[in-house]
Amino acid sequence: MAGLFLLGRRLKGNSLGILLTYLWAAYPFTLYALNSNTNDSLVSAMVVLSLLVISSAPGRGVLAMLAGMTKFAPFALAPLLLRGTGERPRKRSIVAFVAAFVVTGVVVMLPVVLKSDLGAFWRDSVKYQSDRVTPFSVWGLWGGLGGLQHVLQGAVIALALGVGFLPSRRAVVDVAALGAAVLISLQLVTNYWLYPYIVWFFPLVIVAMLGAHPDRDQPPPQTWSDPAGSEPAPVRIHIASP
């Protein structure tokens, strides 16, 4: 909530910050995740913080790794966060992001490595997650759709990689919208899905929707044009004689 307030304040002032904070607090599924005592809200926090440090390549690298190590799915946001905002990143920014990403991963995994628990980590975190199925996913509810699922999974991978290159210019709101699209698409093609996963993309959705909305205090610019819309129409002033 603090991250959303600061992000909204940075984008459009206190009003947007307060609104984003309220939406998080009032949204039923954020309370559901809290009451379920899951770590899904931690993914949301890492994603929001990554938008707050979007101008820092090392900061994005650190938070991209932390989000991915909380739940593996946010690793799909790595190309998007590597790209950042503005024009295409320079080589120095790419190196800084990758270095921060790798170093953070090593630090997070250090307790597992020192205890020689890599086998347990693979069995309980990677293999276990990949084998889970729920009826809340269309793939878990119905059988015989493996071929279609693999095609769609390939499309999601293409999307996650593509947003690292296109569009050529993007602002924070664009990054939020693209990140939401990637996470939603990824959740649609996985075997295992639960309601708390909604909070992964919820902050990105509200930032994209409300951050792109024009301010009501600033009316849109008005232009005078002729019916054809080609050139400005002349303004005629008629002065009546006495």
Residue 155: domain span: 43-196
- Domain assignment present for residue 240? The answer is no
Task: Please compute the mean of the pLDDT values over residues 150-154 and round it to a whole number.
Answer: 94
pLDDT over 90 percentage in the chain: 65
Q: pLDDT for 69-80, tens place per residue? A: 999 999 999 999
Task: Please compute the mean of the pLDDT values over residues 220-226 and round it to a whole number.
Answer: 45
Q: pLDDT for 87-101, tens place per residue? A: 888 899 999 999 999
Q: What is the mean pLDDT of the chain?
A: 87
Look at residue 196 in the predicted model and tell me its pLDDT: 93
pLDDT over 70 percentage in the chain: 88
Q: pLDDT for 2-39, tens place per residue? A: 999 999 999 999 999 999 999 999 999 999 999 999 99
pLDDT band per the 50, 70, 90 thresholds, residue 222? very low
- Domain assignment present for residue 8? The answer is no
Using the predicted structure, report yes or no on whether residue 201 has a pLDDT greater than 90: yes
Q: Whole-angstrom distance between the N-terminal and C-terminal Cα of the chain? A: 68
- Domain assignment present for residue 61? The answer is yes
- Domain assignment present for residue 33? The answer is no
DSSP string, 93-135: HHHHHHHHHHHHHHHHHHHHHHTT-HHHHIIIIIIHHHH---T
In 10 A of CB 207, how many CB atoms? 27
Phi, psi values for residue 226, rounded to 5°:
-80, 170
Tell me the whole-structure pTM to 2 decimals. Answer: 0.83
- Domain assignment present for residue 93? The answer is yes
Q: What's the total number of domains in the chain?
A: 1
Which of 48, 27, 75, 1 minimizes the C-alpha distance to 175? Answer: 48
Distance CA 124, CA 133 (A): 15
Place of tokens 């609104």: 19
- Domain assignment present for residue 134? The answer is yes
How open is the CA angle 50-208-201, to the nearest 5 degrees?
60
- Domain assignment present for residue 27? The answer is no
Q: What DSSP state is assigned to residue 176? A: H
Look at residue 14 in the predicted model and tell me its pLDDT: 94
Q: What DSSP state is assigned to residue 163? A: T
- Domain assignment present for residue 28? The answer is no
Whether 8 contacts 17, CB under 8 Å: yes
Look at residue 242 in the predicted model and tell me its pLDDT: 47
Whether 131 contacts 125, CB under 8 Å: no
Q: What DSSP state is assigned to residue 234? A: P
Show the tokens assigned to 37. 């005592």
